[in-house]
């Protein structure tokens, strides 16, 4: 029996499958194009001694007991509840929208009952939102939509919310209380020594070989036979873009601009969103999340772009249709599995990525 497992990509999906198969006695080879493991979670200590995420902030949050237990096997976790402010009308207001957001922007003094009423009066009655604009109008109403969501989304996606599926905006809840946390999941934490360390621990197994700086498509003919192959890259690239003659499957990228400042802190919270000002979408001061004590601080400005590494699948009907053509091709293949955000063309959170990889392993191995 062939006991070789090939995994393309060392992000959450690839590393989780590698760990599972290595522990089952398989020999695992991971092929990774980049110079590091961890996918977009990769972080490192910069020349000033500050821990920074190379691909922007990754805030772990989950209600999934199984995933939480799993990730705790590979790192200690430090509780961290993310808070985001949005710079609107020259002041910082909480996102997701809560009572304070409305009180600040409209100079009101609502309590919980007043907030429910305010939403009742200001939101639009759209039973079944068909796009992200409708979903925002139904949940926060026109004025907040225009102040906080419309232009941010245009900057982030180069599309207006009415050109994006409702799921995009549905990621942001609306609160009728004063809870200003970005997430409300039971477990919210960061790995104590960073994500890269977590991935090192995940992949620390004698049965796992990692080939960095290696593009699978350059070496695939020399890989020999294998029991199974897991592909976590872009699905269209796997099929040599064969359905993309006219339209391409779109991926949104981000250019991260790092700046280290000679001051202890820069901004009032870890992330500040800029819906209406500047070319960047947001600034993250990671030190506020890690709690690192340091006389300097590194900030990361995010500029969305069509050029560069693919980060976000772009959920709209055109892309979904094209993706579906590629997906059908995957069904014709034997012992090859497509897993993760880029291969499934889906906007997964980190915990969902762990969950999908764990479930896929269980599903295959239970057979
Ligand atoms: N969004 C927005 N204004 C904000 C925050 C988010 O319009 O202040 C929209 C935007 O379209 C964004 C989406 O909501 O892409 C999801 O936001 P989230 O913070 O989940 O995005 P991520 O952190 O995954 O980039």
Looking at the structure, tell me whether residues 236 and 329 fall in a common domain.
yes
Q: Are 12 and 32 in contact (CB under 8 A)?
A: no
Domain presence at residue 319: yes
Residues 20 and 154 grouped into a single domain: no
* 151 and 23 share one domain: no
**Ligand 1 neighbour 59 (Cβ under 6 A):** no
Residue 246: the pLDDT is 84
Q: Would you state the pLDDT for residue 366?
A: 85
Q: Is residue 63 part of a domain?
A: no
353 and 215 co-located in one domain? yes
Residue 233 lies in a domain: yes
* Residue 343 confidence (pLDDT): 98
- Domain of residue 147 covers 84-170
Residue nearest to atom 12 of ligand 1 (CA): 153
Q: What is the CATH number for 223?
A: 3.40.50.720
Domain count, the chain: 2
Same domain, 222 and 359: yes
Quick check: CB of 194 below 6 Å from ligand 1?
no
Give the pLDDT of residue 247. Answer: 87
Q: What is the pTM of this model?
A: 0.96
Do 228 and 336 belong to one domain?
A: yes
Residues 161, 208 share a domain: no
Task: Return the DSSP state at 267.
Answer: S
Q: Is the CB of 243 under 6 A from ligand 1?
A: no
Quick check: is 279 in a domain?
no
Residues 6 or more apart whose CB falls under 8 angstroms from that of 242 comprise none
**Whether residue 207 sits in one domain with residue 139:** no
Q: For the chain, list residues with pLDDT below 50.
A: none
Selection from 16, 25, 22, 30 nearest residue 66 by Cα: 16
Residue 271 resides in a domain: no
- Is 351 within a domain? yes
Q: Is the dihedral of CA 280, 236, 209, 205 positive or negative?
A: positive
Q: What is the pLDDT of residue 313?
A: 96
Structural domain includes residue 77: no
Whose structure tokens read 């599903």?
363
* Structural domain includes residue 136: yes
Cβ 169 under 6 angstroms from ligand 1: yes
Of all protein residues, whose CA lies closest to atom 21 belonging to ligand 1? 171
């Amino acid at each position: 029996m062939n006991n070789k497992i090939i995994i393309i990509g060392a992000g959450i999906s690839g590393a989780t499958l590698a760990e599972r198969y290595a522990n089952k006695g398989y020999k695992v080879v991971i092929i990774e194009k980049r110079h590091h493991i961890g996918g977009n979670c990769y972080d490192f200590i910069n020349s000033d001694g500050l821990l920074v995420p190379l691909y922007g902030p990754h805030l772990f949050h989950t209600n999934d007991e199984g995933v939480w237990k799993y990730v705790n096997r590979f790192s200690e976790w430090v509780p961290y509840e993310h808070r985001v402010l949005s710079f609107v009308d020259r002041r910082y207001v909480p996102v997701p929208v809560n009572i304070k957001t409305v009180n600040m922007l409209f100079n009101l003094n609502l309590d919980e009952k007043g907030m429910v009423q305010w939403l009742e009066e200001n939101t639009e009655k759209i039973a079944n939102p068909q796009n992200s604009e409708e979903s925002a109008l139904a949940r926060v109403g026109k004025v907040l939509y225009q102040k906080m969501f419309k232009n941010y989304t245009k900057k982030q996606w180069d599309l207006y919310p009415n050109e994006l599926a409702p799921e995009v905006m549905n990621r942001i809840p609306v609160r009728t209380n004063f809870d200003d946390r970005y997430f409300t999941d039971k477990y919210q934490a960061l790995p104590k020594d960073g994500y890269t360390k977590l991935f090192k621990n995940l992949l620390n197994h004698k049965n796992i070989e990692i080939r960095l700086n290696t593009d699978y498509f350059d070496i695939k003919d020399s890989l020999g036979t294998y029991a199974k192959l897991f592909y976590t890259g872009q699905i269209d690239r796997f099929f040599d873009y064969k359905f993309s003659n006219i339209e391409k499957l779109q991926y949104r990228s981000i250019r991260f601009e790092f700046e280290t400042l000679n001051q202890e802190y820069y901004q009032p919270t870890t992330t500040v969103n800029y819906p209406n000002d500047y070319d960047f979408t947001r600034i993250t001061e990671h030190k506020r999340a890690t709690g690192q004590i340091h006389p300097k601080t590194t900030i990361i400005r995010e500029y969305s772009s069509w050029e560069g590494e693919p980060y976000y699948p772009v959920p709209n009907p055109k892309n979904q249709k094209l993706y579906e053509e590629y997906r059908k091709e995957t069904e014709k293949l034997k012992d090859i599995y497509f897993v993760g955000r880029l291969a499934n063309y889906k906007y997964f959170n980190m915990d969902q990525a762990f969950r999908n990889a764990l479930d896929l392993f269980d599903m295959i191995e239970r057979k």
